[in-house]
Amino acid sequence: MGYNTEDFKAKPCIGILNTWSEMNNCHTHFRDRAEEVKRGVWQAGGFPIEIPVMSLSESFMKPTSMYYRNLLALEVEETLRCYPLDGTVLMGGCDKTVPALVMGATSANIPSIFLPSGPMLKGCWKGETLGSGTDMWKYWAERQAGNLCEDGWNELEDSIARSPGHCMTMGTASTMTAVVEALGLCLPGSTSIPAVHSTHARMASACGRRIVDLAWDKVSPRELLTEESFHNAIVTDMALGGSTNAIVHLIAMAGRAGIKLSLDQFDEISQQLGVIANIRPCGEYVMEDFYDAGGILALLSQVKDHLNLDCPTVSGESLGKNIEGAEVFNDDVIRPLSRSLSKAGGTFVLRGNLAPDGCVIKPTAADEKLLHHSGPAAVFSDYGDLKERIHDESLALTADHIIVLQNAGPIGAPGIPEWGMLPIPNYLLKQGIRDMVRISDARMSGTSYGACVLHIAPESAIGGPLALVRDGDQIELNVTERRLHMDVSEEELAKRKAEWKPRPARHQRGYGKLYADEITQAPEGCDFKFLHQGEDSPEPDIF
Ligand code: FES
């Protein structure tokens, strides 16, 4: 490899896990960043080794990047275990790369620091700011309603993502990188820096320098990931108005640290503070504005009374010390709690005879008048059925109907894809309707919006009550009372359950079979059962 013995002798060996790929538009700057990390590692007296790992590209993976989150987590864990490494820099940002890298490093438990890809620049089209995902969904509805032509749509596509970096709305990537910082795994303020800002390159070198110290001091992720730091992560998620996906990922990440988070903890914390990040899809601005307004440290300083400030972080200082002196430079972007965007936090947990194990909704991203709504069910048995029939005018759906999608959960789809913002029929879009109650066992992109009830558990593919809903059943959504109920008698539900049959297994071999055999439901984080933290795996033998 061209190194002298002196280059690596008695130096901590730092593995730089790089999720760069030409298939992942969010990480196209990672080749440069890896070099900048190496510079920092050399400067601090370490020995850097770059190691490519699987890249989970949100835009291009079939059936969904979530299907492969656990595969990347497994690859990371075993990569860190099998090579002679003393520490690692985890390079990620695009949605599922973030929890996957943290899950794997937590299980391997070697000193780790997370290097966030940073958000891309804001989009701009005809003088109007565009937010990735959020404005694509918005204008797609206009296109379907006949208000935007093909050329306009193509122009918009060219204008919405104009630099490397992850989605710059408060989607899953912005949410997850921020909560990983709140957990203590990132350098202070690093998760808000735009991907192409020169500070981002400097931050990468600083990660390289810092991981060498962490390796000498043997500071491992499970020392930092505690019940208190996960509390901080949930507070951050709620104050951000974060992606509903954060719940699934945080439960899975905590599980790797041997900590059990329940859906009720998220709901309890959501009642204690409102959303203060005025970022799309709940708000008005995008992540570049958030950075200029003071970024994550400024936001954390606004909610510091809700945080465990003594939690240690990779900076070597406590979270409280990291946010000392943080200032808000634009209090319309980062609001004080007294002027929050909503009275409560970003995500609520519902239960009822349709979701005995729970489901979630993001009220701040929904039409308020739908948060208490009853209507007849219009049921689609799977995504193919939905695509085929949703725009069929003979179904004669109205704005009062509740659209129900079955078989879109972890096993049913498989992979619990982001199908939960179910399409509104084109003929209703043309009438000006832009939101309806929609329920499913799928997830929804953090950049999406609407009165969408998600992650219904147990899922329909394993015989959960969602599988028993039929066209015309009356369903009630009552967000204030945290209730999702179908008005069908117990006797009738028992009769339907007796008639219900599971679909044949989709995969007989390979990753699909492993996935179906091992995946857990959304309230358990959709991790594989055999990857939950139990006994540590033994060190590999050396021959
Ligand atoms: Fe990568 Fe949105 S496509 S974060």
Do 110 and 239 sit in the same domain of this protein? yes
CA atoms within 13 A on the CB side of 128: 10
Q: Is 298 in the pocket of ligand 1 (CB under 6 A)?
A: no
Q: Are 52 and 92 in contact (CB under 8 A)?
A: no
- The answer to whether 413 and 436 are in contact (CB under 8 A) is no
Q: What is the structure's pLDDT at 534?
A: 75
Q: Which atom of ligand 1 is nearest to the CA of 59?
A: 3
* Residues 6 or more apart whose Cβ sits within 8 Å of residue 325: none
User: 543 pLDDT band (50/70/90 cuts)?
Assistant: low
Alpha-carbon span 89 to 116, nearest angstrom = 10
Residues 215 and 201 in one domain: yes
Rg over alpha carbons for the chain, rounded to the nearest Å, is 23
Digit-coded pLDDT (tens) for 429-455 = 999 999 999 999 999 988 888 999 999
For ligand 1, the distance from its centroid to the CA atom of residue 162, given in whole angstroms, is 13
Instruction: Please give the distance, rounded to the nearest whole angstrom, from the Cα atom of residue 346 to the centre of ligand 1.
Output: 20
Residue keyed to tokens 């005018």: 393
Residue 494: partners with Cβ closer than 8 Å, 6 or more residues away:
none
Q: Note the pTM of the prediction, 2 decimals.
A: 0.96
CA distance linking residue 428 with residue 397, whole number of Å: 8
Contact 59 CB / ligand 1 (< 6 Å): yes
Mean per-residue pLDDT of the chain: 96
Q: Which of 438, 441, 440 is nearest to 450 (CA)?
A: 438
What would the mean pLDDT of 329-334 be, rounded to a whole number? 98
Strand segments, DSSP code E, in 53-179 are 87-92, 112-116, 123-125, 128-130
**pLDDT above 70 (res 540):** yes
What is the tens place of the pLDDT at every residue in 211-251?
A: 999 999 999 999 999 999 999 999 999 999 999 999 999 99
Q: Tell me, what's the pLDDT at 532?
A: 86
State the first-to-last Cα distance of the chain, in angstroms, to the nearest integer: 23
Spatial neighbors of 81 by CB under 8 A, at least 6 apart, are 108, 537, 539, 540
CB 166 less than 6 A from any atom of ligand 1: yes
Same domain, 66 and 209: yes
Neighbour-count burial of 241, counting CB atoms closer than 10 A to its CB (0-12 exposed, 13-18 middle, 19+ buried): buried
Burial 504-541 (b: 16+ CB within 10 A, else e): eeeeeeeeeebbbeebbbbbbbbbbeebbbeeeeeeee
Residue 329 lies in a domain: yes
Last residue of a domain, one of 499, 514, 538: 499
Q: From CA 34, how far away is CA 53, in angstroms rounded? A: 13
CA angle 182, 187, 192 (to 5 degrees): 70
CA of 197 to the centre of ligand 1 (A): 18
Lowest mean pLDDT, pick from 130-144, 191-205, 215-229, 508-522: 130-144
CB of 26 within 6 A of ligand 1: the answer is yes
| Whether 84 and 169 share a structural domain | yes
**Distance (Å, rounded) from C-alpha 253 to C-alpha 104?**
9
Residue 457 in contact with ligand 1 by CB distance below 6 A: no
Q: Are residues 241 and 280 in the same domain?
A: yes
For 460-471, what is the mean pLDDT?
A: 98
Q: Using alpha carbons, select from 252, 58, 48 the residue that is nearest to residue 169.
A: 58
**What residue owns the CA closest to ligand 1's atom 2?**
167
Query: Residue 94 Cα, ligand 1 centroid: separation in angstroms?
Result: 5
Would you place residue 289 in the very low, low, confident or very high pLDDT band (cuts 50, 70, 90)? very high
* Torsional sign, CA 297, 299, 305, 307: negative
Using the atom order of ligand 1, give the atom closest to the CA of residue 166: 4
Of the residues 339, 362, 389, which one is the last residue of a structural domain? Answer: 339
Residue 271 sits in the same domain as residue 318: yes
Which residue's alpha carbon is at the smallest distance from atom 1 of ligand 1? Answer: 94
Which of 21, 23, 24, 26 has most ligand 1 atoms within 8 Å of CB, for mutation? 26
Domain check: are 270 and 291 in the same one? yes
Please answer whether residues 208 and 38 qualify as being in contact, where contact means their C-beta atoms are separated by less than 8 angstroms. yes
Q: State the distance from the centre of ligand 1 to the C-alpha of 192, rounded, in angstroms.
A: 15
Q: Kindly give the distance from the C-alpha atom of residue 451 to the centroid of ligand 1, in angstroms, as a whole number.
A: 22
CA distance 448 to 470: 27
SS3 348: strand
Q: DSSP label at 424? A: P
Residue 255 belongs to a domain: yes
Residue 325 lies in a domain: yes
Residue 219: CB partners within 8 Å, gap ≥ 6? 111, 312, 314
Give the residue, 542 or 176, on which the prediction is more confident.
Answer: 176
What average pLDDT does this structure show over 533-540? 80
Query: Residue 410 — very low, low, confident or very high, per pLDDT cuts 50/70/90?
Result: very high
Instruction: Tell how far the Cα of 62 is from the centroid of ligand 1, in angstroms.
Output: 14
What is the distance of C-alpha 92 from the center of its chain?
Answer: 13
Element (H, E) at 297: helix 295-302
Q: Which of 157, 166, 243 to mutate to test the pocket of ligand 1 (most atoms within 8 A of CB)?
A: 166
CA of 172 to the centre of ligand 1 (A): 8
Asked if residue 167 has its Cβ within 6 Å of ligand 1, the reply is: yes
- The answer on 421 and 487 residing in a single domain is yes
Here the CATH number for the domain that contains residue 492 is 3.50.30.80
Asked if residue 139 belongs to a domain, the reply is yes
What angle (nearest 5°) sits at the alpha carbon of residue 451, between those of residues 136 and 274? Answer: 95
Strands (E), 252-371: 348-352, 355-361
Tell me whether residue 330 is in a domain: yes
Shared domain check, 168 and 151 = no
| Helix-helix angle 150-160:134-144, to 10 degrees | 180
- Pocket probe for ligand 1: among 167, 191, 243, 448, the residue whose CB has the most ligand atoms within 8 Å is 167
Closest CA to 424 of 143, 131, 65: 143
Pair 17, 146 in one domain:
no
CATH no. for residue 10?
A: 3.40.50.2300
State the virtual CA torsion across 84, 89, 91, 95 in degrees, nearest 10: 100
Task: With a cut of 70, say whether residue 396 has pLDDT above it.
Answer: yes
Q: Tell me the pLDDT band of 500, cut-offs 50, 70 and 90.
A: very high
Q: Which of 56, 540, 536 is nearest to 257 (CA)?
A: 536
Find the mean pLDDT for residues 489-507: 96
How high is the pLDDT of residue 445?
86
- 506 belongs to a structural domain: no
Which amino acid, 192?
S
Ligand 1 contact via 95 beta carbon (within 6 Å): yes
Residue 136 Cβ inside 6 Å of ligand 1? The answer reads no
How far does the centroid of ligand 1 lie from the alpha carbon of residue 59, in Å? 7
Provide φ and ψ at 319, rounded to 5°: -60, -40
- Residue-level pLDDT at 201: 98
166 CA → ligand 1 middle, Å: 5
d(CA 90, CA 210): 13
Q: Is residue 172 domain-shared with residue 223, that is, in the same domain?
A: yes
pLDDT tens-place string over residues 102-123: 999 999 999 999 999 999 999 9
- Residue 421 in this model has a pLDDT that exceeds 70: yes
CA diameter of the chain: 77
- CA 173–ligand 1 middle distance (angstroms): 7
Beta bridge partners of 377: 402
Name which of 79, 80, 56, 81 is nearest 68 in CA terms.
56
Question: Do 170 and 50 sit in the same domain of this protein?
Answer: yes
Which residue has tokens 């008048």?
369
- Whether 94 is in the pocket of ligand 1, judged by its Cβ within 6 Å, is yes
Question: How many angstroms separate the CA atoms of 330 and 315, rounded?
Answer: 26
Q: Please work out whether the CB of residue 173 comes within 6 Å of at least one atom of ligand 1.
A: yes
Which structure tokens are listed for 217?
A: 């001091």
18 phi/psi in degrees, rounded to 5: -110, 120
* DSSP state at residue 336: -
Residue 509 within a domain: no
* Tally of structural domains, the chain: 3
d(CA 347, CA 266): 8
**Rounded distance from Cα 284 to ligand 1 centre (Å):** 19
| pLDDT at residue 538 in the model | 83
* pLDDT average, residue stretch 511-523: 97
In 44-91, which ranges are continuous DSSP H helix? 69-82
Mark 412-435 as b/e (b = at least 16 C-beta within 10 Å). bbbbbbbbbbbbbbbbbbeeebeb
Answer whether residue 45 is part of any domain.
yes
CA–CA–CA angle 364, 117, 254 (5° rounding): 65
Q: Which domain holds residue 220?
A: 5-122+163-339
Q: What percent of the chain has pLDDT over 70?
A: 100
Tell me how far the alpha carbon of residue 262 lies from the centroid of ligand 1, in angstroms. Answer: 27
